Structure 1
């Protein structure tokens, strides 16, 4: 099949492209940076350089595809320290561009990488943009089949803790403790997407993806052990303190408020209500395996 992937060779995109090429599919990877062409071609895929904000480019690239994989990230909208960026609005525009490109290109099979929390507009902070894009894509004609993939929090997001651990000597959040929550590895997401691309498409479907279920304290123990800091602590602070910390270092207000609300929903458990109504089989990558990756990144900085 001819498959077009958005998102370049990201944590999910790279293993997904590798798997699809291995299975004999013709794969085109969209990237915004020409310097990634060589890396994409080394995977056996074709690179298409352009922007997700360019609907004409997207439509031209999607034309002739049997399946298009759509994804969007906050990074595509701008820098977290740029106080003027409307991240929610910018990503909604990407969703609109996707919708128009799919219509113009005549694509009838879509896999969309969404997120846990996309089932509801409010209550999960910055995840609102996933709800918005799912809603926009849902406006496509009913003969366009869409598989919405909803992963939980990425293990790789924990790399963002490295700076705080090194400067503060602890993990700092507005929730913590012994309550388990689901996490996912990008490799397991890629495996699910590759599987879904080879399964029949019909209507609109939703599939959650997770790799392991662990508590904040278990994460702290595993990461601390891996980096040689067995006494590493996960410190819980009030929402307002965390928000003020992030604003004081220059975070965009929408980003700061959005992540505080998101993490509060993790702590209360409300983020996972729909997930547990459609609980998936867990993937292969567990916390201990990720902790080794974390240690490598920690020691490299």
Structure 2
């Protein structure tokens, strides 16, 4: 199959490209960074260098492809993040329609069933709506959990204050996912026959923040590492002080509030969806310790 992957060689793109190339598929990887061209070609894929907001570039790249993995970059542009993300999704959709692509897998998120109150996830809700209007393409909306790798953002807090924390409490249920489990699920979906529009959740584990702090603490020899719940204002100001742009800090604070209320996770938890990922929290904690 001829398969186009967006997301460059990131935490999802690299293992996904390796899987598909190893299976003998003709793989093209989209990257906005020309410096990635050599690395992409080194793994046996073709490089397409350009912007995911450029309809003409995407259309030219997509023509003749059997399947597309569509992933819009997080925090696109630094300002007007949600609208920029939606615009990129609309560019993908126009290119998919023009190039007459029949199979699409879109990386979405838990909480994408909601139109707002979810921080940056809101952009994915609107992109799902755009892709739902694609007439000729079978689309799988792959709704991922909270990335384990986001926990690396807590390293300065652990080293500086001896805590982990966010603006949601110690006991909520959090669907978690490893990027490599996402890559496996994307590969499965790209290669299977499908019709219509379908939702699949990809989750590796469901744990509480308290369990996250315990597992990480054990892995890094800080067995008393606590999870501390912050107020929304404390969370917002902490992220701004750490150097995040105010808009992005505000979106992440809103997402944390959505996790605290349970609305972001409600569709997955109440829907009794399967946990398909293989990499559990304790497995990731070992990876965390190696990079700590």
Give the TM-score normalised by the residue count of structure 2. 0.95
Q: Does the alignment pair 1:25 with 2:25?
A: yes
Q: Does the alignment pair 1:220 with 2:213?
A: yes
Give the distance between the partners of 2:110 and 2:244, measured in 1 at CA: 24
Q: Any unmatched runs of 5+ in structure 2?
A: none
Q: SS at 1:224's partner residue?
A: helix
**Deviation >4 Å, runs of 4+:** none
Offset from partner CA, 1:4-51 (integer Å, 9 cap, x none): 001101111111111111221110001111211222122211111111
Instruction: Determine which of 191, 209, 228 is the counterpart of 1:198.
Output: 191
Deviation (angstroms), 1:249? 4.5
1:114 maps to which residue? 108
1:89 maps to which residue? 83
Q: Does the alignment pair 1:154 with 2:153?
A: no
Give the distance between the partners of 1:249 and 1:190, measured in 2 at CA: 30
Give the distance between the partners of 1:117 and 1:274, measured in 2 at CA: 7
Deviation (angstroms), 1:223? 0.9
How is 1:65-76 mapped onto 2 (pairs within 5 angstroms)?
65-75=65-75
Deviation (angstroms), 1:287? 0.9
CA distance 1:175–1:227, shift in 2 (3 Å): same
Alignment RMSD: 1.5
Give the distance between the partners of 1:172 and 1:185, measured in 2 at CA: 20
Instruction: Determine which of 153, 171, 182 is the counterpart of 1:189.
Output: 182
2:39 maps to which residue? 39
Q: Is the 8 A contact 1:207 1:280 kept in 2?
A: no
Give the distance between the partners of 2:225 and 2:274, measured in 1 at CA: 31
Deviation (angstroms), 1:168? 2.2
Give the distance between the partners of 1:104 and 1:150, measured in 2 at CA: 25
Q: Is the 8 A contact 2:173 2:208 kept in 1?
A: yes
1:242 maps to which residue? 235
Instruction: Determine which of 240, 263, 270 is the counterpart of 1:270.
Output: 263
Q: Does the alignment pair 1:57 with 2:51?
A: no
Give the distance between the partners of 1:248 and 1:292, measured in 2 at CA: 29
Q: Any unmatched runs of 5+ in structure 1?
A: 80-84
Q: SS at 2:109's partner residue?
A: coil
Q: Is the 8 A contact 1:119 1:131 kept in 2?
A: yes
Q: Does the alignment pair 1:126 with 2:125?
A: no
Q: Is the 8 A contact 1:15 1:190 kept in 2?
A: yes
Q: Is the 8 A contact 2:170 2:228 kept in 1?
A: no
Q: SS at 2:276's partner residue?
A: coil
Q: SS at 2:176's partner residue?
A: strand
Give the distance between the partners of 2:274 and 2:255, measured in 1 at CA: 22
Q: SS at 2:200's partner residue?
A: strand
Give the distance between the partners of 1:157 and 1:168, measured in 2 at CA: 18
Aligned residues: 291
